[in-house]
Structure 1
Amino acid sequence: MTEEPHRSNDAADHGPTGELAIVGIGNELVTDDGVGPRLVAAMDSLPEMPPPGVRLVNAGTTGFLALEAMSGCERAIVVDAIETGADPGTVHQYRCREGGFEGPIPDMTMHDVSFTEALCFARDVYELPDDVLILGVEPGSLQTGFGLSEPVELAIPKLIEMIVATDPRLDPVHLEGAGEETLEREVMDA
């Protein structure tokens, strides 16, 4: 079960209009840990993506590459697999503002450094956004292998909807009129 995104027609609710980084984190050779890179590939395959002012980056398993990707941006959205014990495919939301987390800190393990630790402590090295939204997808499998489990693959269109809802630049006309079935087909083909 995924959390419902907040949608509003009020542009002020969509947040700032400065540069936005969408960063996928994960290892594509460890099944569902590859959800971040898979999301980036799916978004990149959509027409008109990324629009001006939006960075779309696959940071792999390198926490510092993720930080570099969002350096200088006003906001960032990070997608990764986060294991909490919920049903596979569940989307968890975490927010880091001005270097501190609102609520629980997600356990995001990177191969070189914990992303959440780097996010909180690397502000002197990188010009990091004051607003970082982390979308964590509950993995169904973290075994060595290529490709996502079915519940995590099915979460990709929901993740795209949630991300699109955060910024009016990401709401292309084809998403408004295409319907979820077309979006799922485009994402599955990516």
Structure 2
Amino acid sequence: MTEQAVVGVGNQIMRDDGLSAAVVDALRDAGLDEHPDVSLSHAGTTAFFALEAMDGADRAIVVDALQVPDAEPGDVHRIVYREGAFESADFDINMHDFSFTEALAAGDHAYAVPEEIVVLGMTPAVVTAGLQLSETVREGLDELVALVREELVRGGTAIDEPAVAQEGSS
């Protein structure tokens, strides 16, 4: 079985930068924190907490608000990191205190970092002090949660579909 770490990165008191905490909470609410092959954590804004959270996992999924050139607020992004570089990005992802590539390079000897890391994120609409996500990001959260679930399945983890109330049931 494949062990996968889902790691949220971001600052929950900077509005849309806290979107990853909302995603991790939704996955916990769906019971994925009970899955034996999935770990869920929120690393805040410290790159080395993120590395520690994915230490020893076969694969990691990092969720963050991503400032992507030419992207619109609410746009969802999937970027794969393999063999020391991002495969489909011509920019570096900032983990707040370090760039992602710098943190991975610096922590390579101290942590057993997965060979494949998938970064899933959304372009934020508002990154100012506050606790509420913008309407744009709130509207896109379900899609981002679904993408994390799809990544877990893609990585080899069998997960149940979210429970859906059937008509006529109580």
**TM-score (norm. length: structure 1):** 0.77
Q: Which runs of 5+ in 2 are unaligned?
A: none
* Unmatched segments (≥5 aa) in structure 1: 1-16, 180-190
More helix per residue? 1
CA contact (8 A) 1:82 1:107 kept: no
Pick from 99, 114, 136 the counterpart of residue 151 of structure 1. 136
**C-alpha distance in 2 between matches for 1:39 and 1:158:** 10
Paired residues for 1:9-28 under 5 Å? 17-28=1-12
Which residue is equivalent to 1:116?
Answer: 101
Q: Classify 1:20/1:146 alpha carbon distance in 2 versus 1 (closer, same or farther; 3 Å).
A: same
For 1:163, the equivalent position in structure 2 comes to 148
User: Which residue of the other structure, out of 71, 74, 78, is the alignment partner of 1:86?
Assistant: 71
* Aligned equivalent of 2:127, options 139, 142, 145: 142
Q: Deviations over 1:5-59 (max 9, x none)?
A: xxxxxxxxxxxx4110000000001011101111111111113544111110000
The structure 1 segments of at least 4 consecutive aligned residues displaced by more than 4 Å after TM superposition are: none
Q: Quick one: which amino acid aligns to residue 138 of structure 1?
A: T
The DSSP-based 3-state class of the residue aligned with 1:134 is strand
- Please state whether the residue corresponding to 1:35 is helix, strand or coil: helix
**Aligned residues: percent identity?**
40
Which segment drifts farther, 39-48 or 21-30? 39-48
- Alignment length, in residue pairs? 162
CA distance in 2, matches of 1:27, 1:50: 25
TM-aligned CA deviation for residue 79 of structure 1: 0.6
TM-score normalised by structure 2 residue count? 0.85
Does the 8 Å contact 2:11/2:44 carry over to 1?
A: yes
- CA deviations on 1:155-183 (whole Å, 9 max, x unpaired) are 211112112112344632435x559xxxx
Provide the residue aligned with 1:125 in structure 2: 110
